[in-house]
Amino acid sequence: MIYETKNRIINNNYSDRLLELVRANGLSDDRIIGVGTAVRGILNADGRGVTDSFGALAEKGYALCDRIEGRTGYAAVLENNVRALFAAQQFFDRESADGPQFFLRCEYGIGAAMTVEGNMLRGATRQCAEIGHIPIIRRGGRLCSCGKTGCLETIASPAAITEAAMRELSETGMPILWQTYQKTPERQLTVEDVLSAAAGGDAGAGKIVDEAVIALAGALRGVVYLLDPSKIVLYGRMFDHPYFLSRLRGELQEGMDDSHAVTMEKSRYNRTLDRSAAALLAVADYYNNGGI
């Protein structure tokens, strides 16, 4: 596996960079089974191109697999980044991959994926489980990266929480978070800063976190009643914080009946799958097509 450590916008130079990495790692063509790529956004009908990556790619309607194959000669496979992470989770956690499972990722934004008996659900337009873009605020909500307003992601994502805290930050309204910010004013606040302030009794920070928790738990209750998963797997930086995880678990149970009890747990591989997910797509594709 070759992993590019720098953040880059994928464009026509992506394949050239891939070939540079192949040469730098001394790999011969007979050792390369294919190229796996995971990217955010909506894939096209055949899963080989990206209809809209919401800014990750240099253009819309990008035929990514065709371009990689044309420039490198390697077979290419493509998947949405959250589904790729969930596929990696299930690869490493094969003993507990049975049953319907819902995978929720909160890192910058909010994404999700769903499997039934290990099979990934994609939907008619490859937008299955787009929980982050469920409209939560009917009118007057904030603009989302998808172009709509009032999406769950604009309230409950790590970015939304930190942005709300920065908008409302004051010495009187958020005294604990204010002190944190004053100690290192040269950097932006992080979601961990906001969660720690809320856990420490900062009422202003707590209000922002509560709004996020209530919105996210409400969306997850809809998932439970509609799809009846046996497990919800949580992946992302917020779930490393005991305060947020405890609040989310408690809020999820509000209004739930006993017949819809669901296990919700943080991934045992939390925040470690990004380096392997894309490569595992290529491995799975190789073996699914008869490779030995």
pLDDT higher than 90, residue 257: no
Between residues 101 and 59, which one has the greater pLDDT?
101
Measure the CA angle with vertex 265, ends 126 and 282; round to 5°: 40
Strand ordering across the sheet containing 101-106: 119-120, 110-116, 101-106, 231-235, 263-266
For the segment 96-122, the average pLDDT, to the nearest whole number, is 92
Q: Strand 101-106 and strand 231-235: pairing?
A: parallel
For the segment 105-134, the average pLDDT, to the nearest whole number, is 94
Give the pLDDT of residue 292: 64
pLDDT band at 9 (very low <50, low <70, confident <90, very high): very low
For the segment 50-73, the average pLDDT, to the nearest whole number, is 90
Question: For residue 100, what are the CA distances in angstroms to 113, 117, 262?
Answer: 11, 6, 11
By percentage, how much of the chain surpasses pLDDT 90? 75
Cα–Cα distance, 262 to 270 (Å, whole number): 20
Give the pLDDT of residue 219: 97
Q: Tens digit of pLDDT for each residue in 142-173?
A: 999 889 999 999 999 999 999 999 999 999 99
Cα–Cα distance, 153 to 54 (Å, whole number): 14
Q: Supply the angle between the helices 203-227 and 191-199 in degrees, to the nearest 10.
A: 100
Measure the CA angle with vertex 81, ends 291 and 244; round to 5°: 130
Measure the CA angle with vertex 157, ends 57 and 213; round to 5°: 160
Give the pLDDT of residue 117: 86
259: which DSSP letter? Answer: G
pLDDT higher than 80, residue 290: yes
Most confident of 22-31, 93-102, 121-130: 121-130
Measure the CA angle with vertex 193, ends 266 and 197; round to 5°: 100
Q: What length does the chain have?
A: 292
Give the pLDDT of residue 7: 41
User: DSSP readout, 180-224?
Assistant: HHHHSTTS---HHHHHHHHHTT-HHHHHHHHHHHHHHHHHHHHHH
Q: Tens digit of pLDDT for each residue in 182-223?
A: 988 788 899 999 999 999 999 999 999 999 999 999 999 999
